[in-house]
C-alpha cells in the first residue's frame, strides 16, 4: 500500500523584507485576528442566547434589574403626585387604591354553591332544646363531562276540514347549522377546547370517544368551517365598531397552512390581530392572510383615524401613511431586545452579586423605571396619567436616550447590545409617544396576550389544512378572546351565541349578541342548591 506524501505549504521568506514591511504585515495579521475574534465572539453570543431561549426559564427578569435604580424614591414621587390631587377630583378607581385592600379568601363567587346538611339522627336529636347548623368546611367538586342523546319529538295536530285534513306542527327551534347532529353545547365545547385550551381535534375525538361516542375529527372540522359563515356578520360588526375607536393595538404571528395557493406548506403565512374599541367595549379580532405585506393592515384598519400602537415592523408604516394615523411604539419589544442581549452576554466570573452588570443590564434597569411608573398609575384617569408621565416618565426617557447615544459607539457592531440600542434609537419618536396621551399603554401587551393562546396552540401542533380552515380559526379566536376581554367565560358565551344567532336576522338582534351587550349573568349561570345529607 502506497502512502501519499504529505503536502507541504511553502513558507514565505521574510528575510528579504524590510522592517517597515514586516511591521505592516504584522499589523495586517493582527487586524485579521481581531476580526476573527470578534466574529467568534458574536457567534458565541448567539449560541448562548439560543441555549437560554431553548432550555432556560422564559421570564425576562434579570439579576441586576432591582439594584440599578432607586425604586423606592420613584414610587415615593408617584405617591406625592397622587396625594397632591384634591379629594373631590379623585376618580373612584384612584380612591379605591388609597384604601387597604382586604385579602380575598375562599372560592370564586361565580361558582354554584350546593349546601349539604349533615343532620343528627332522631335519637341524637331527642330531648334537645334546639338544633342549628354550622359550616365546617368548603370543598371543590368536579362533575365529569358526559354525552347525552337528545331525542327531539315534534308534536303535530290534525284538523279535519271540509276540504281535507290539515296538519299543524309545533315550531322547531332553529339551529345555526341547520341539519346537524351536534347541539349548541357540543359545538361550544369543541370550539373552546380547540381554540382556548389548545387541544387538537384528534385528542378531542379520543376524549369524546371515552365518553361513549366517537364524533370524528373530520366532522368537527367541518362544523367549525361551516360556523365561520354563521359568525361572519358578527365579526364584521365588531370590525366596524373597533375601527370607529381612537386607539388600536396590532400584532402578527406566523401560522402554518398546508394548502395555500401559490405557497408551499412550509412557507410563512400570517395571523394578524387587532385589539381596540372603547374601554367598556373591547374587541380582539384575528384575521388570516398569506402575506405580511403592508396592504394587509391597511385593509383591516379601513376607516380608522386614531392612534395605532405596534412594534417596529416596517409594514405598519404603509397603513400610517395611507390612512394618516399616528403610530406609537411598544416598549415590550424594545426591552426584549436588551433582555436577549443580557442573556447572550458572556458569563461573569465570580459570584453573581459581585459581577459587574453589562450594558444591557443597565438599559433594562432604566426601562424598568418606566414600567414602575405605569404600575402605580394603572387606576388613574387619562388626565392624571398624562400628568404623571409628563412629570416623571419624560425625565427618565431623556436620561435613557442620553445613555443610549453615549454607549452606542462603545459596543461592538453586530452585537446583540448594539442591535438593541440601534432599535431603540431608530424607534425613539414612536416609543416616547405614549407620554403624549393618557389613554395609551406603554406597550401593546394586550394584543400580545390575546395572541398567546394562538401561539400555545401552534406549539401543540395545531395548523390549518386550508385557507377556509385558517379563516374559521381566526373567527373562533376572535370570539373567544373578545369574550375574555369583556369578562365573559368563553364557553358559556359561545353557547349563548349559538343558541340565538340563527334568529338574528336584523341589525338590532345582531348587535344584541355582542359581548358587551350581554349581562354576565346571561352567559354564566349562577345558583345555589340545597341538599340535605342525613347520617344515621
Dump pLDDT digits (tens) for 263-300.
787 788 899 999 999 888 999 999 999 888 889 999 99
* Mean pLDDT, the chain, whole residue set: 82
Round to whole Å and give the CA distance between 338 and 352: 19
Q: What is the pLDDT of residues 170-188, one digit of tens each?
A: 988 899 998 899 999 999 9
How far apart are the C-alpha atoms of 211 and 193, rounded to whole Å?
A: 15
Three-state DSSP class for residue 86: coil
| pTM, full prediction | 0.76
In sequence order, what DSSP letters do the residues of 161-212 get, joined into one string? ETTEEEEEEPPPPP-TTSS-SS-HHHHHHHHHHHHTS---HHHHHHHHHHTT
Q: Which residue has the higher pLDDT, 58 or 439?
A: 439
- pLDDT given for residue 82 in this prediction: 59
Segment (H or E) for 479: helix 467-485
Measured CA to CA, the distance from residue 405 to residue 423 in angstroms comes to: 12
What is the per-residue pLDDT across 496-535, written as a single tens digit (0 to 9) for each? 999 999 999 999 999 999 999 876 555 553 334 444 444 4
d(CA 421, CA 364): 11
Read off the C-alpha cell for 268: 410563512
For residue 440, the Cα-to-chain-centroid distance in whole angstroms is 17
Q: From 157, 160, 226, 241, select the one nearest 191 (Cα to Cα).
A: 226
Q: Given a cut of 70, is residue 14 above it in pLDDT?
A: no
pLDDT at 258: 78
Burial class (CB within 10 angstroms; exposed 0-12, middle 13-18, buried 19+) of 6: exposed
In degrees and rounded to multiples of 5, residue 149 shows phi and psi of -100, 115
Residue 350: pLDDT over 60:
no
CA 329 to CA 437: how far, in whole Å?
13
Amino acid at each position: 500500500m502506497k502512502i501519499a506524501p504529505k503536502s507541504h505549504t511553502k513558507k514565505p521568506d521574510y528575510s528579504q523584507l524590510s522592517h517597515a514591511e514586516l511591521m505592516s504585515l504584522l499589523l495586517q495579521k493582527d487586524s485579521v485576528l481581531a476580526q476573527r475574534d470578534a466574529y467568534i465572539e458574536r457567534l458565541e453570543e448567539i449560541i448562548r442566547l439560543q441555549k437560554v431561549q431553548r432550555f432556560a426559564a422564559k421570564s425576562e427578569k434579570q439579576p441586576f434589574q432591582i439594584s440599578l435604580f432607586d425604586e423606592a424614591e420613584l414610587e415615593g414621587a408617584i405617591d406625592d403626585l397622587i396625594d397632591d390631587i384634591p379629594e373631590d377630583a379623585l376618580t373612584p378607581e384612584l380612591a379605591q387604591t388609597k384604601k387597604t385592600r382586604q385579602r380575598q379568601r375562599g372560592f370564586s363567587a361565580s361558582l354554584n354553591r350546593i349546601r349539604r346538611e349533615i343532620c343528627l339522627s332522631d335519637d341524637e336529636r331527642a330531648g334537645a332544646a334546639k338544633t342549628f347548623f354550622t359550616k365546617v368546611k368548603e370543598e371543590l367538586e368536579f362533575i365529569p363531562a358526559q354525552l347525552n342523546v337528545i331525542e327531539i319529538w315534534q308534536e303535530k295536530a290534525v284538523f279535519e276540514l271540509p276540504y281535507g285534513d290539515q296538519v299543524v306542527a309545533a315550531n322547531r327551534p332553529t339551529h345555526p347549522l341547520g341539519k346537524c347532529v351536534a347541539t349548541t353545547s357540543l359545538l361550544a365545547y369543541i370550539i373552546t377546547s380547540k381554540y382556548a385550551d389548545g387541544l387538537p381535534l384528534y385528542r378531542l375525538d379520543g376524549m369524546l370517544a371515552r365518553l361513549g361516542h366517537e364524533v370524528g375529527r373530520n366532522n368537527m372540522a367541518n362544523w367549525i368551517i361551516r360556523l365561520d359563515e354563521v359568525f361572519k356578520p358578527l365579526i364584521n360588526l365588531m370590525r366596524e365598531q373597533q375601527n370607529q375607536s381612537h386607539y388600536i393595538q396590532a400584532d402578527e404571528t406566523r401560522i402554518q397552512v398546508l394548502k395555500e395557493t401559490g405557497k408551499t406548506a412550509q412557507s410563512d403565512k400570517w395571523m394578524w390581530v387587532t385589539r381596540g374599541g372603547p374601554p367598556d367595549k373591547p374587541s380582539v379580532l384575528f384575521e388570516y392572510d398569506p402575506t405580511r405585506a403592508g396592504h394587509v393592515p391597511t385593509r383591516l384598519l379601513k376607516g380608522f383615524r386614531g392612534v395605532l400602537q405596534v412594534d417596529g415592523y416596517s409594514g405598519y408604516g404603509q397603513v400610517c401613511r395611507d390612512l394618516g394615523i399616528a403610530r406609537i411604539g411598544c416598549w415590550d419589544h424594545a426591552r426584549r431586545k436588551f433582555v436577549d442581549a443580557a442573556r447572550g452576554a458572556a458569563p461573569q466570573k465570580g459570584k453573581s452579586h459581585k459581577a459587574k452588570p453589562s450594558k444591557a443590564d443597565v438599559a433594562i434597569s432604566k426601562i424598568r423605571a418606566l414600567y414602575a411608573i405605569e404600575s402605580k398609575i394603572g387606576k388613574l384617569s387619562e388626565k392624571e396619567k398624562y400628568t404623571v408621565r409628563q412629570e416623571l416618565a419624560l425625565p427618565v426617557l431623556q436620561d435613557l436616550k442620553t445613555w443610549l447615544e453615549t454607549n452606542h459607539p462603545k459596543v461592538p457592531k453586530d452585537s446583540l447590545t448594539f442591535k438593541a440600542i440601534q432599535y431603540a434609537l431608530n424607534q425613539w419618536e414612536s416609543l416616547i409617544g405614549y407620554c403624549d396621551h393618557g389613554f395609551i399603554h406603554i406597550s401593546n401587551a394586550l394584543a400580545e396576550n390575546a395572541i398567546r393562546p394562538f401561539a400555545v396552540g401552534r406549539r401543540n401542533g395545531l395548523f390549518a389544512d386550508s385557507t377556509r380552515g385558517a379563516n374559521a380559526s381566526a373567527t373562533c379566536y376572535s370570539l373567544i378572546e373578545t369574550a375574555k376581554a369583556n369578562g365573559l367565560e368563553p364557553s358559556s358565551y359561545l353557547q349563548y351565541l349559538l343558541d340565538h344567532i340563527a334568529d338574528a336576522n336584523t341589525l338590532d338582534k345582531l348587535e344584541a349578541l355582542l359581548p358587551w351587550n350581554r349581562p354576565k349573568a346571561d352567559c354564566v349561570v349562577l345558583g345555589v342548591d340545597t341538599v340535605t345529607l342525613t347520617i344515621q
